[in-house]
Amino acid sequence: MNVSIAIDGPAGAGKSTMAKRVAEKLGYFYVDTGALYRTVGLHVMRNGVSPADEVSIKKLLRDLDISFYYAQDGTQRMSLNGEDVSDAIRTPDISHYASAVSALASVRAFLLDMQRNMANKHSVVMDGRDIGTVVLPNASVKLFLTAKAEERARRRWKELREKGGEYDYETVLTDLIGRDKADSERPIAPLKAAQDAVVLDTTDLDPEATLSEILRIIKERTG
Protein backbone atom coordinates (compact mmCIF):
# COMPACT_ATOMS: atom_id res chain seq x y z
CA MET A 1 0.00 0.00 0.00
CA ASN A 2 1.44 3.35 -1.03
CA VAL A 3 1.46 6.20 1.45
CA SER A 4 0.72 9.74 0.27
CA ILE A 5 1.53 12.93 2.10
CA ALA A 6 -0.14 16.09 0.78
CA ILE A 7 1.45 19.47 1.54
CA ASP A 8 -0.53 22.48 0.38
CA GLY A 9 -0.21 26.17 1.07
CA PRO A 10 0.41 29.62 -0.38
CA ALA A 11 3.55 30.74 -2.25
CA GLY A 12 6.76 30.85 -0.26
CA ALA A 13 5.46 28.91 2.75
CA GLY A 14 8.37 26.46 2.48
CA LYS A 15 6.32 23.62 1.00
CA SER A 16 8.91 22.50 -1.55
CA THR A 17 11.85 22.60 0.84
CA MET A 18 9.91 20.66 3.44
CA ALA A 19 8.34 18.19 1.01
CA LYS A 20 11.76 17.41 -0.45
CA ARG A 21 13.30 16.81 2.97
CA VAL A 22 10.39 14.72 4.21
CA ALA A 23 10.56 12.61 1.04
CA GLU A 24 14.30 12.05 1.52
CA LYS A 25 13.80 11.13 5.15
CA LEU A 26 10.98 8.64 4.42
CA GLY A 27 12.35 7.33 1.10
CA TYR A 28 9.25 8.49 -0.80
CA PHE A 29 9.00 10.09 -4.23
CA TYR A 30 8.83 13.89 -4.11
CA VAL A 31 6.33 15.49 -6.50
CA ASP A 32 6.55 19.27 -6.91
CA THR A 33 3.24 19.93 -8.66
CA GLY A 34 4.02 23.67 -8.92
CA ALA A 35 6.87 22.66 -11.26
CA LEU A 36 4.31 21.02 -13.57
CA TYR A 37 2.22 24.21 -13.78
CA ARG A 38 5.38 26.27 -14.21
CA THR A 39 6.48 24.08 -17.12
CA VAL A 40 3.13 24.53 -18.83
CA GLY A 41 3.47 28.28 -18.17
CA LEU A 42 6.95 28.33 -19.71
CA HIS A 43 5.73 26.51 -22.81
CA VAL A 44 2.82 28.93 -23.18
CA MET A 45 5.11 31.95 -22.77
CA ARG A 46 7.68 30.65 -25.25
CA ASN A 47 4.97 30.14 -27.82
CA GLY A 48 3.82 33.72 -27.42
CA VAL A 49 0.34 32.65 -26.34
CA SER A 50 -1.65 34.66 -23.81
CA PRO A 51 -2.27 32.68 -20.59
CA ALA A 52 -5.94 33.61 -20.97
CA ASP A 53 -6.23 32.06 -24.46
CA GLU A 54 -7.50 28.59 -23.50
CA VAL A 55 -8.29 27.53 -27.08
CA SER A 56 -4.67 28.01 -28.18
CA ILE A 57 -3.33 26.53 -24.93
CA LYS A 58 -5.40 23.37 -25.46
CA LYS A 59 -3.67 22.96 -28.81
CA LEU A 60 -0.25 23.47 -27.22
CA LEU A 61 -1.01 20.77 -24.64
CA ARG A 62 -1.31 18.17 -27.41
CA ASP A 63 2.43 18.34 -28.15
CA LEU A 64 3.55 18.81 -24.60
CA ASP A 65 5.65 16.10 -23.00
CA ILE A 66 6.58 16.91 -19.41
CA SER A 67 8.17 14.61 -16.87
CA PHE A 68 10.40 14.43 -13.82
CA TYR A 69 13.74 12.69 -14.04
CA TYR A 70 16.85 12.34 -11.91
CA ALA A 71 20.17 13.92 -12.90
CA GLN A 72 23.48 12.16 -12.25
CA ASP A 73 23.95 14.14 -9.03
CA GLY A 74 20.65 12.71 -7.75
CA THR A 75 18.69 15.98 -8.02
CA GLN A 76 15.20 15.84 -9.45
CA ARG A 77 14.85 17.75 -12.73
CA MET A 78 11.95 18.81 -14.89
CA SER A 79 11.87 17.97 -18.56
CA LEU A 80 9.88 19.81 -21.25
CA ASN A 81 9.92 17.93 -24.56
CA GLY A 82 13.34 16.53 -23.64
CA GLU A 83 14.87 19.80 -22.45
CA ASP A 84 15.93 20.35 -18.82
CA VAL A 85 13.88 23.39 -17.78
CA SER A 86 14.41 23.08 -14.01
CA ASP A 87 16.12 26.49 -13.76
CA ALA A 88 14.14 28.24 -16.51
CA ILE A 89 10.85 27.72 -14.62
CA ARG A 90 12.06 29.47 -11.43
CA THR A 91 11.67 33.10 -12.51
CA PRO A 92 9.05 35.61 -11.31
CA ASP A 93 7.68 35.83 -14.89
CA ILE A 94 7.03 32.12 -14.93
CA SER A 95 5.41 32.27 -11.47
CA HIS A 96 2.90 34.63 -13.02
CA TYR A 97 2.32 32.48 -16.12
CA ALA A 98 2.02 29.33 -13.99
CA SER A 99 -0.62 30.91 -11.77
CA ALA A 100 -2.55 32.23 -14.79
CA VAL A 101 -2.60 28.92 -16.71
CA SER A 102 -3.39 26.99 -13.53
CA ALA A 103 -6.83 28.63 -13.46
CA LEU A 104 -7.78 26.88 -16.75
CA ALA A 105 -9.86 23.70 -16.58
CA SER A 106 -8.04 22.09 -19.51
CA VAL A 107 -4.62 22.62 -17.92
CA ARG A 108 -5.76 21.24 -14.57
CA ALA A 109 -7.33 18.19 -16.23
CA PHE A 110 -4.16 17.61 -18.26
CA LEU A 111 -2.02 17.51 -15.10
CA LEU A 112 -4.46 15.73 -12.80
CA ASP A 113 -3.97 12.20 -14.16
CA MET A 114 -0.22 12.64 -14.20
CA GLN A 115 -0.23 13.55 -10.50
CA ARG A 116 -2.59 10.73 -9.51
CA ASN A 117 -0.61 8.19 -11.53
CA MET A 118 2.53 9.09 -9.61
CA ALA A 119 0.72 8.58 -6.30
CA ASN A 120 -0.61 5.22 -7.52
CA LYS A 121 2.84 3.98 -8.44
CA HIS A 122 4.89 5.31 -5.50
CA SER A 123 4.62 6.48 -1.94
CA VAL A 124 4.75 10.25 -2.43
CA VAL A 125 5.16 13.56 -0.74
CA MET A 126 3.28 15.91 -3.05
CA ASP A 127 3.18 19.66 -2.63
CA GLY A 128 0.88 22.18 -4.30
CA ARG A 129 -2.37 24.07 -3.80
CA ASP A 130 -5.10 21.43 -4.23
CA ILE A 131 -3.42 18.16 -3.32
CA GLY A 132 -5.44 17.50 -0.16
CA THR A 133 -8.68 18.84 -1.63
CA VAL A 134 -8.70 17.55 -5.23
CA VAL A 135 -5.69 15.52 -6.38
CA LEU A 136 -5.41 13.13 -3.43
CA PRO A 137 -8.54 13.53 -1.28
CA ASN A 138 -7.66 10.24 0.45
CA ALA A 139 -4.06 11.18 1.24
CA SER A 140 -2.69 9.48 4.34
CA VAL A 141 -1.63 12.83 5.84
CA LYS A 142 -2.64 16.35 4.81
CA LEU A 143 -0.69 19.41 5.84
CA PHE A 144 -1.38 23.03 5.09
CA LEU A 145 1.76 25.11 5.51
CA THR A 146 1.39 28.82 5.81
CA ALA A 147 3.16 31.92 7.19
CA LYS A 148 2.58 35.69 7.22
CA ALA A 149 2.86 37.19 3.72
CA GLU A 150 5.76 39.47 4.75
CA GLU A 151 7.75 36.51 6.04
CA ARG A 152 7.01 34.39 2.96
CA ALA A 153 8.05 37.28 0.71
CA ARG A 154 11.25 37.73 2.71
CA ARG A 155 12.13 34.06 2.22
CA ARG A 156 11.30 34.18 -1.50
CA TRP A 157 13.30 37.42 -1.95
CA LYS A 158 16.32 35.88 -0.19
CA GLU A 159 16.09 32.74 -2.34
CA LEU A 160 15.91 34.80 -5.57
CA ARG A 161 18.88 36.94 -4.53
CA GLU A 162 20.93 33.89 -3.64
CA LYS A 163 20.46 32.67 -7.19
CA GLY A 164 21.82 36.01 -8.43
CA GLY A 165 20.05 39.04 -9.78
CA GLU A 166 18.56 42.11 -8.20
CA TYR A 167 15.07 41.82 -6.84
CA ASP A 168 13.11 44.41 -4.92
CA TYR A 169 11.46 43.10 -1.72
CA GLU A 170 8.31 45.21 -2.17
CA THR A 171 7.80 43.84 -5.70
CA VAL A 172 8.26 40.27 -4.47
CA LEU A 173 5.70 40.92 -1.70
CA THR A 174 3.16 42.49 -4.08
CA ASP A 175 3.56 39.62 -6.60
CA LEU A 176 3.17 37.01 -3.89
CA ILE A 177 0.02 38.58 -2.45
CA GLY A 178 -1.43 38.93 -5.97
CA ARG A 179 -0.66 35.31 -6.83
CA ASP A 180 -2.18 34.00 -3.58
CA LYS A 181 -5.31 36.01 -4.23
CA ALA A 182 -5.62 34.65 -7.79
CA ASP A 183 -4.88 31.07 -6.66
CA SER A 184 -7.40 31.30 -3.80
CA GLU A 185 -10.20 32.95 -5.75
CA ARG A 186 -10.19 30.87 -8.94
CA PRO A 187 -13.31 28.74 -9.33
CA ILE A 188 -11.53 25.42 -10.06
CA ALA A 189 -9.44 23.75 -7.36
CA PRO A 190 -8.61 26.94 -5.47
CA LEU A 191 -5.86 27.16 -2.89
CA LYS A 192 -7.40 26.15 0.44
CA ALA A 193 -6.81 23.84 3.35
CA ALA A 194 -8.68 20.53 3.22
CA GLN A 195 -11.11 20.12 6.08
CA ASP A 196 -8.98 17.31 7.49
CA ALA A 197 -5.62 19.05 7.00
CA VAL A 198 -3.33 20.00 9.86
CA VAL A 199 -2.59 23.72 9.50
CA LEU A 200 0.95 24.70 10.41
CA ASP A 201 1.97 28.37 10.61
CA THR A 202 5.74 28.60 10.14
CA THR A 203 6.11 32.38 10.57
CA ASP A 204 8.11 31.93 13.77
CA LEU A 205 9.57 28.51 13.04
CA ASP A 206 12.99 27.89 11.51
CA PRO A 207 13.33 25.13 8.88
CA GLU A 208 14.60 22.53 11.38
CA ALA A 209 11.72 23.15 13.79
CA THR A 210 9.25 23.02 10.89
CA LEU A 211 10.67 19.73 9.65
CA SER A 212 10.52 18.06 13.05
CA GLU A 213 6.96 19.25 13.59
CA ILE A 214 5.94 17.86 10.17
CA LEU A 215 7.63 14.53 10.87
CA ARG A 216 5.91 14.40 14.25
CA ILE A 217 2.50 14.98 12.64
CA ILE A 218 3.16 12.33 9.98
CA LYS A 219 4.21 9.80 12.61
CA GLU A 220 1.16 10.57 14.71
CA ARG A 221 -1.18 10.15 11.71
CA THR A 222 0.41 7.10 10.10
CA GLY A 223 1.40 5.25 13.23
Q: Is the CB of residue 19 less than 8 Å from the CB of residue 145?
A: no
Residue 21, interface with ligand DC (CB under 6 A)?
no
Q: Is the CB of residue 101 less than 8 Å from the CB of residue 107?
A: yes
Residue 98, interface with ligand DC (CB under 6 A)?
yes
Residue 34, interface with ligand DC (CB under 6 A)?
yes
Residue 183, interface with ligand DC (CB under 6 A)?
yes
Residue 30, interface with ligand DC (CB under 6 A)?
no
Residue ranges in the chain assigned as alpha helix (H)? 15-26, 33-46, 54-62, 92-101, 105-121, 149-162, 169-185, 207-222
Question: Starting at the edge strand that comes first in sequence, how are the strands of the sheet with 29-32 ordered?
Answer: 29-32, 124-128, 4-8, 141-146, 198-201
- Window contacting ligand DC (CB under 6 A); options: 79-87, 96-104, 151-159, 208-216: 96-104
Give the count of beta carbons closer than 10 Å to the beta carbon of residue 36: 23
Q: Residues 120-149: x/- map of binding to ligand DC (CB under 6 A)?
A: --------xxxx------------------
For ligand DC, which is the closer residue by CB, 202 or 219? 202
Q: Which residues bind ligand DC (CB under 6 A)?
A: 11, 33-34, 37-38, 95, 98-99, 102, 128-131, 179, 183
